[in-house]
C-alpha cells in the first residue's frame, strides 16, 4: 500500500449528524482496509471529539460547519478537526479519577479521557479564530 490517502468530511453542529458520519467512516475504513479495531477507535475518537465541540463550542446556537480531515500514511492515521467556535481546548480538562467506586464516580468528564487512551497523541491549536484538534494513531 505505500501511498497515503486523505478524505475530507464536513458536518453540521448537530448531534444527529454523528450517526451518518459513522456510516461514512465505515465505508472509508473499508476502502482503506482498516482493521475493525482501528475503525472503532476512529469512530469513537471522532464521536467524543465532535460531541464535545457540538455541545461546548457554539454558545450562539447557530448553524456551524465542522471540518474533518482524515489522513492515512503507511504508519499513521491522523484526524484533524477544525471548527470556528469559541476557544475550546479539550486537553485542558481534567481526567476523571478512575479509582473511585461507582457511588463516588462523577458522571461526566469521560469523553476526552477516552480519546487520550485510544489515540497515541492529541494536540490542540487555536489559529485564525478556529479550534484545530489533531489526533494521531500509529498503525
Nearest-approach distance from CB 118 to another protein, in angstroms? 7
* Minimum CB distance to another protein smaller for 40 or for 139: 40
Nearest-approach distance from CB 128 to another protein, in angstroms? 28
Element spanning 137, H or E: strand 130-138
| Set of cell numbers at residue 16 | 444527529
Nearest-approach distance from CB 75 to another protein, in angstroms? 22
* Minimum CB distance to another protein smaller for 100 or for 125: 100
Task: Measure the CA angle with vertex 90, ends 84 and 93; round to 5°.
Answer: 145
Give me the sign of the Cα torsion angle 19, 94, 107, 86.
negative
* Minimum CB distance to another protein smaller for 50 or for 70: 50
Ramachandran angles phi, psi of 124, nearest 5°: -125, 140
Three-class SS state of 21:
helix
* Minimum CB distance to another protein smaller for 6 or for 55: 55
* Minimum CB distance to another protein smaller for 33 or for 129: 33
First to last CA, the chain: 13
The site for another protein (CB under 8 A) is made up of 15-16, 18-19, 22, 36-37, 40, 43-44, 47-48, 51, 96, 98-99, 101-103, 105, 107-108, 110-111, 113-114, 117-118
Nearest-approach distance from CB 10 to another protein, in angstroms? 19
Residues 6+ apart with CB under 8 A from 15: 51, 54
Amino acid at each position: 500500500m505505500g501511498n497515503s490517502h486523505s478524505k475530507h468530511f464536513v458536518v453540521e453542529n448537530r448531534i444527529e449528524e454523528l450517526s451518518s458520519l459513522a456510516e461514512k467512516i465505515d465505508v472509508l475504513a473499508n476502502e482503506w482496509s482498516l482493521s475493525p479495531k482501528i475503525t472503532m477507535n476512529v469512530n469513537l475518537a471522532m464521536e467524543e471529539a465532535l460531541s464535545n465541540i457540538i455541545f461546548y463550542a457554539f454558545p450562539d446556537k447557530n448553524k456551524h460547519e465542522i471540518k474533518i480531515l482524515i489522513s492515512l500514511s503507511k504508519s499513521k492515521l491522523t484526524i484533524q478537526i477544525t471548527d470556528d467556535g469559541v476557544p475550546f481546548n479539550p486537553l485542558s480538562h481534567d481526567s476523571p479519577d478512575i479509582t473511585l467506586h461507582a457511588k463516588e464516580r462523577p458522571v461526566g468528564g469521560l469523553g476526552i479521557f477516552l480519546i487520550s487512551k485510544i489515540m497515541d497523541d492529541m494536540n490542540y491549536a487555536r489559529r485564525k479564530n478556529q479550534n484545530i484538534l489533531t489526533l494521531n494513531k500509529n498503525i
